[in-house]
Amino acid sequence: MELREIYKPIEKDLFEVKEEIRKQLAVEDDFMKRVVEDIVDSSGKLLRPALALLAFSTGDNNRKSREEIIKTASVIELVHTASLIHDDVIDETILRRHRTTLQARWGDKISVLFGDYLFCRSFAMLCQLGHSEIVSALANTISLICEGELKQISRAYDWDLSEEDYLSIIKKKTASLFSFSCLCGGHLGRVGADEIKAFVNYGLNFGIAFQMIDDCLDFIGDEKATGKSLGSDLHRGKVTLPLIYLLGSTPEEVRKEIVESISPEQNDAIILLIKQMLLEYQVMQRCAKRITQYMEKAREEAKKIDNAAVRKSFINICRYSLVNPLESCSELNVRQETGPMKEKILTGGIKCSMG
């Protein structure tokens, strides 16, 4: 199922969200206008605003509350965009959403300040709505995102990072905003406490699975298909689920050689070899199983939603997020790198037996 089909019930609302973002970022300064245009033109799938709008649609709402959810959904996308801008500065990312990143075009200083600017605009918009609970929840969410990012940076090249530690990081840096999005929709839609809890738990579990998928694609995805720079996690020593499983599956001598090969200056041959090892040790199958477990948890929460149409949309978003990334997966290309190329890699990099 295509995302536009899932979005059909909220198609008009998402259009208004985009228009609200343009309105909120309208500026007089010519230079700022150029940067704002880059931001608005590079908008993604609007997945987080969509979850907020869908959760909102389950409740009994009026015109005033609808205006509030449009503004709140706009805030959610601005916060997400700000966090991506800061991420791109940290990771020196060149490509995102099939476009050159703000960091690559305008540099670190402007990117950091614009990320900060978007955070400030977000809080100003929410304060105008007068929902102190949402403002407080947003402040907490941004704190969690920063905590998660700081923990990931501080644990770079930490080869003993556990799956539990990894989960703690992605719950904060990614899942927290999905959870916040669902919370906002339920709160503004005046749904019952049990249903809001289901929305929040859905967002948390979906967000965990979503980040796991993203981390897997960083190893085996295709830049042309995903529209973003890949391979940066390994270059920066970020220990994500595929690497955790690989280091836990290999013999000690192989583990040591993998660890010693990973550095900011590593060449493409080493990266290709590690990709092959992920396949040799069936790491991606283990990752897929873990991802499916969290997506299933999200689906179980979605089943608690009373509104049948919204319930179906939440479940279909899970299905879309699982199936769609496979289209950008280059795993088969990695499998084909055998024979002479494989020997060349082994003699120039890690000298271990691949079976």
Residue 346, pLDDT score: 35
Copy the structure tokens of residue 351: 């000298």
Percent of the chain with pLDDT over 70: 86
Kindly tell me if the per-residue pLDDT of 12 is higher than 90: yes
pLDDT tens string 76-113: 999 999 999 999 898 888 877 667 888 888 889 999 99
Q: Tokens in use for 355?
A: 């079976």
Half-sphere exposure of 303 toward its Cβ, with a 13 Å CA cutoff?
A: 6
For the residues 168-179, what does the mean pLDDT come to?
A: 98
Q: How far apart are CA 235 and CA 243, in angstroms?
A: 12
339 Rama sector, left if φ>0, alpha if ψ -120 to 50, beta otherwise? left
Q: What is the CATH number of the domain that holds 339?
A: 1.10.600.10
- Residue 342 inside a domain? The answer is yes
Total-model pTM: 0.88
Statement: residue 162 has pLDDT above 70: yes
Do the domain assignments include residue 354? no
Q: With a cut of 70, say whether residue 334 has pLDDT above it.
A: no
108-129 and 63-91 helices, crossing angle to 10°: 160
Interatomic CA distance for residues 302 and 312, integer angstroms: 8
**What integer pLDDT is reported at residue 64 of this predicted model?**
72
Q: State how far the Cα of 134 lies from the Cα of 296, in Å rounded to an integer.
A: 28
Share of the chain above pLDDT 90, in %: 60
Task: Please state the length of the chain.
Answer: 355
pLDDT in tens, 202-241: 999 999 999 999 999 888 876 666 656 666 788 788 999 9
Q: What is the mean pLDDT of the chain?
A: 86
Domain enclosing residue 264, as ranges: 3-348
Q: How many domains does the chain fold into?
A: 1
